Structure 1
Amino acid sequence: MAWNSPETKSHQMAAGRATVGPGAPIAHTPGLAGQPYRDQWDIERAHKEGMQKVTWVARCVDAIAGNQARLPIVLRKDNSPDGEIVTSKRVRNDSILNILNTKANIGENSFIFRYRLSAQLLMGTRGAFIEKIRGRD
């Protein structure tokens, strides 16, 4: 059989020709070595090219964002994993805990807001920004 000949199995034969490493051919680009990571996929491009073309992407984002939105937001003292849990009674009334765990705004409850926030974090690489505008309660 031609595909299983000793010439194709020999290590000495492979030394003279270029080999392809595992993974995608674009996985290692020597020209980008030592440069910071940049991703041009903003939220609109991720939605157009990812979620609209591949339905599994939409389903995965929906499943992850839905499960994350079901969990309440918890703050810990000094942002430590083992720190004491800070409740909304111990902080100001207009804290971020009230926004994320009760009613985010007039148009959506906290579940929908956390779902949208999680989906945006999953689809984009730039993160998310929450701004509380005082006087719009």
Structure 2
Amino acid sequence: MVTTETRAKTLGIGEVAERTGLSVHALRFYEREGLLVGPVRRTAGGRRRYAPVDVDWLLICVKLRESGMPLADLKRFAELVRRGPGNEAERLALLDVHRRRVEEQIQALEECRSVITRKVGVYAEHLARGEAGGLWDPTA
């Protein structure tokens, strides 16, 4: 239960949603799925109260999910963190696999950007010369 003293140090679900960019619904989902590293405290009335460390953890989770970490991997990572010291090598391995996956995605996006940049150059050049008619014209 949350006392008056702890309430001053904790945040409500709306405040946490604001700070993390997650919706209230997503925060409840994260809790249900076991993605938090500690239990969410509750007031006598049953309202969730989050500690600053919960917000810090959620910000990490947000970045891992935004970067494409599968939910199963995020659950595993949270489970390892909850267990405490002694499994750092396993955490590192999980994060390293994800880092490599992100690097591959970045490489693929850079290749896409290169193609787009070339096409922008072609169109800009043709438009500047007044010769844009017929570029990729499927009716020609």
What's the TM-score, normalizing by structure 1?
A: 0.23
What's the TM-score, normalizing by structure 2?
A: 0.23
**Higher helix share goes to which structure?**
2
Higher relative contact order (CA 8 A, sep 6+): 1
